[in-house]
């Protein structure tokens, strides 16, 4: 398993319990959607996968490493975390410098080649010398993905990747993510996007795993959708 959480719990300083005894395993090459209502703990769980938030209870193993103070840097090399707002990830004067930042920080080889390959993977190679703030939101989202692909991660974790995207940008993003050969965990409210990209879904509610199974079966079950406060777009039904 490249992701293995065992009994993970997390409580914020204000007393909010975000995760309760979460146990979850993801095999190499799997694509898993992490679903659930607002406040369910989805983003909190994602932030545990590269040590942004340490596990207060239980253990987190990523790519065979027990995540802790001695291994967090190595794990971050393996886990590409893409935030919901690309502006939280882009801060250098040019796109190329943003994509090069991670490999340079980790002293990886062939930085120029890594930048070129990552930008080509997201269709943004022509923007290498442009300032990120001159790009559209969808283009910035793609560059944010390139900043983690340049590290050749084993795992890609995306937080609400389709938020604020128009239909064309959403389709382009789906094509990009389909072509990327990595294990993927995607936090999303976009159920059709989850169905398109992720054969498996995990539903968090009240900080616990309450469903773990096929995405198609979940989205075709009106009772489960109501129970977990999940809604397909108006007029769409996958029920048999």
State residue 39's pLDDT score. Answer: 86
- Whether 24 contacts 202, CB under 8 Å: yes
What is the domain partition of the chain in residue ranges? 3-85+153-227
Q: Give the chain as a DSSP string.
A: --EEEEEEEEE-TTS-EEEEEEEEEE-TT-EEEEE-STTSSHHHHHHHTTTSS--SEEEEEETTEEPSTTTHHHHHHHEEEE-SSGGGT--SSSHHHHHHHHHHHTT-S-HHHHHHHHHHHTT-GGGTTS-GGGS-HHHHHHHHHHHHHTT--SEEEEESTTTT--HHHHHHHHHHHHH--SEEEEE-S-HHHHHHH-SEEEEEETTEEEEEEEHHHHHT-HHHHHHTT--PPTT-----
State residue 64's pLDDT score. Answer: 86
Arithmetic mean of pLDDT, 178-201: 95
Gap between the Cα atoms of 28 and 234, Å rounded:
35
**pTM of the predicted model as reported, rounded to 2 decimal places:** 0.92
Percent of the chain residues topping a pLDDT of 70? 99
What CATH class does 3-85+153-227 carry? alpha beta
Using a 10 angstrom Cβ sphere, with 0-12 exposed, 13-18 middle and 19 or more buried, the burial of residue 1 is middle
**pLDDT level of residue 233 (50, 70, 90 thresholds):** confident
State residue 179's pLDDT score. Answer: 93
**pLDDT level of residue 236 (50, 70, 90 thresholds):** confident
pLDDT reading at 32 higher than 80: yes
Gap between the Cα atoms of 186 and 32, Å rounded:
6
State residue 237's pLDDT score. Answer: 74
Q: What's the pLDDT tens digit per position in 110-153?
A: 999 999 999 999 999 999 999 999 999 999 999 999 999 999 99
Mean model confidence pLDDT for the chain: 93
Gap between the Cα atoms of 205 and 2, Å rounded:
23
């Amino acid at each position: 398993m490249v992701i293995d959480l065992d009994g993970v719990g997390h409580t914020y300083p204000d007393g909010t319990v975000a995760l309760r005894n979460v146990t979850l395993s993801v095999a190499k090459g799997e694509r898993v959607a992490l679903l659930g209502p607002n406040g369910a703990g989805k983003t909190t769980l994602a932030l545990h996968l590269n040590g942004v938030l340490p596990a207060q209870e239980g253990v987190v193993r990523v790519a065979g490493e027990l995540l802790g103070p001695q291994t967090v840097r190595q794990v971050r090399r393996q886990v590409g975390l893409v935030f919901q707002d690309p502006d939280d990830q882009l801060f250098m004067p040019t796109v190329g410098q943003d994509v090069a930042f991670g490999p340079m920080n980790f002293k990886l080889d062939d930085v120029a080649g890594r930048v070129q390959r990552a930008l080509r993977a997201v269709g943004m190679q022509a923007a290498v010398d442009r300032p990120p703030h001159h790009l559209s939101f969808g283009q910035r989202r793609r560059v944010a993905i390139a900043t983690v692909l340049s590290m050749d991660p084993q795992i890609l974790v995306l937080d609400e990747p389709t938020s604020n995207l128009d239909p064309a940008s959403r389709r382009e993003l789906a094509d990009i993510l389909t072509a990327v050969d990595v294990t993927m965990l995607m936090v999303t409210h976009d159920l059709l996007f989850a169905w398109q990209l992720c054969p498996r879904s995990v539903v968090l509610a009240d900080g616990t795993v309450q469903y773990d199974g096929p995405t198609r079966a979940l989205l075709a079950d009106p009772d489960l959708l109501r129970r977990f406060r999940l809604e397909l777009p108006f007029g769409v039904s996958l029920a048999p």
